[in-house]
Amino acid sequence: MPLSRKRIDEITAAMGRARVLILGDTMLDEYLHGTVARISPEAPVPVVDIESTRQLVGGAANVAANIKALGDEPLLVGAVGDDPAAEQLRSLLVEKGISPDYLVIDKTRKTTIKTRIIAHGQQVVRADRETRHDLTSEAERQVMARVEKVAESISAMIISDYGKGVITPTLLPEVIDLCLRKKIFVAVDPKENRFNHYRNVSLITPNHHEAGFAYGRRITTMDDLLAVGQGLLGRLEAEAILITRGPQGMSLFRRGQPPTHIPTFARKVYDVTGAGDTVIAVYVSAVAAGADAIEAAIAANAGAGRTVAEVGTATVTAGQLREDLERNLDNGNLAVAHRTRQDQGSGL
């Protein structure tokens, strides 16, 4: 058994002692909830009567919220515009106990807002207001200065790249080089069109669509999955790649080790928004608490299983994580499969 009750207790008890820097694209997630009773006479679209609204932190800010929920201290470094959305985002961060002081103001851009209209529990449409160009050279310099300021005091760094312009081609190698020199664990939630730049990192967490696109081979069979996972691992010289596969769980690829396949723990799926944020946050928090790669991947899988059961971005605490892991242990769901190229099957 790869994760015993003793190890579950040890790892979850040790969470909450790390300082984690989160670098990336911060967003404001807006949810408009309502009902549909008619179709618009102007176009064949539903008319949603809005009954409630709520705003949540999104993108890299949601990764920070996940780290905070696990008990660790998040340091959120990113960029916002000089606008009301930035003020709202700061206010939400403060409510969660996350400092907004490391955010850089770039007056050439808008703070990203993703507005989702939801009717009867289903998303009807999403509207984005954002700027996707790269940071100005001055804003980039300020971001790097903030990273360097706290580098000596962190246990790990998470790069949350949503392709909105914070993770620039010049900033990324500087940040990774800094982590390598200081032996900081660095995990990347990637954007598929920038894969070749994430070199020599500790962990990359693409979903199977992103991984297949980056490698140039669509993942439809186990042969495809193994080729893509091992191929990206070698190409990027990463220590590990964790490919999330939706209802089929996750697959962990590590240097010199056979792949490890972990079945999904999700009991119900209402909304996958932010699930990747939970995966990378739980994995990093678990590693900082002494977990090995397989233990951290199993914990991340359990964390994602809980958050997809809620509408909107959600977080998981160390206590909830322990409960879910122990329940899955009792149900016999923590078994993992090791598969080599010699004994692989052809189907997923």
Q: Which pLDDT does position 311 carry in this prediction?
A: 54
Element (H, E) at 20: strand 19-24
**Cβ 103 vs Cβ 26: under 8 Å:** yes
Kindly report whether the global pTM for this prediction surpasses the value 0.85. Answer: yes
Nearest Cα residue to 289 out of 20, 77, 76: 20
pLDDT of 315 higher than 90: no
| Tens-digit pLDDT profile for residues 251-267 | 999 999 999 999 877 55
Rounded mean pLDDT of 137-162?
97
Task: For residues 70 and 16, give the distance between their C-alpha atoms in angstroms, rounded to a whole number.
Answer: 6
Q: Which pLDDT does position 266 carry in this prediction?
A: 57
| Tens-digit pLDDT profile for residues 129-143 | 999 999 999 999 999
Which residues does the annotation mark as catalytic?
277
pLDDT of 341 higher than 50: no
pLDDT of 269 higher than 50: no
State percent of the chain over pLDDT 70. Answer: 91
Task: For residues 46 and 61, give the distance between their C-alpha atoms in angstroms, rounded to a whole number.
Answer: 32
| Tens-digit pLDDT profile for residues 36-76 | 999 999 999 999 999 999 999 999 999 999 999 999 999 99
Range with top average pLDDT, 3-7, 166-170, 192-196, 247-251: 166-170
**Cβ 202 vs Cβ 188: under 8 Å:** no
* β-strands 240-244, 250-254 pairing: antiparallel
pLDDT of 222 higher than 70: yes
Nearest Cα residue to 304 out of 240, 248, 260: 248
346 backbone dihedrals φ, ψ, rounded to 5°: -95, -15
Q: Which pLDDT does position 310 carry in this prediction?
A: 63
Answer with the residue of higher pLDDT: 52 or 332: 52
- pLDDT band of 314, cuts 50, 70, 90: confident
Task: For residues 107 and 86, give the distance between their C-alpha atoms in angstroms, rounded to a whole number.
Answer: 11
Rounded mean pLDDT of 177-198?
92
Q: Which pLDDT does position 305 carry in this prediction?
A: 82
Q: How high is the mean pLDDT of the chain?
A: 91
Site of tokens 């193994």:
226
Task: For residues 294 and 292, give the distance between their C-alpha atoms in angstroms, rounded to a whole number.
Answer: 6
Range from 32-36, 282-286, 339-343 carrying the lowest mean pLDDT: 339-343
Answer with the residue of higher pLDDT: 16 or 263: 16
pLDDT of 92 higher than 90: yes
Domains of the chain: 5-27+59-111+132-338 (3.40.1190.20)
- pLDDT band of 246, cuts 50, 70, 90: confident
Element (H, E) at 84: helix 84-95
Q: Which pLDDT does position 3 carry in this prediction?
A: 82
What is the DSSP track for 139-174?
HHHHHHHHHHHHGGG-SEEEEE--SSSSS-TTHHHH
Nearest Cα residue to 171 out of 138, 203, 213, 123: 138
Nearest Cα residue to 335 out of 225, 233, 261: 261
Answer with the residue of higher pLDDT: 321 or 338: 321
Q: Which pLDDT does position 270 carry in this prediction?
A: 47
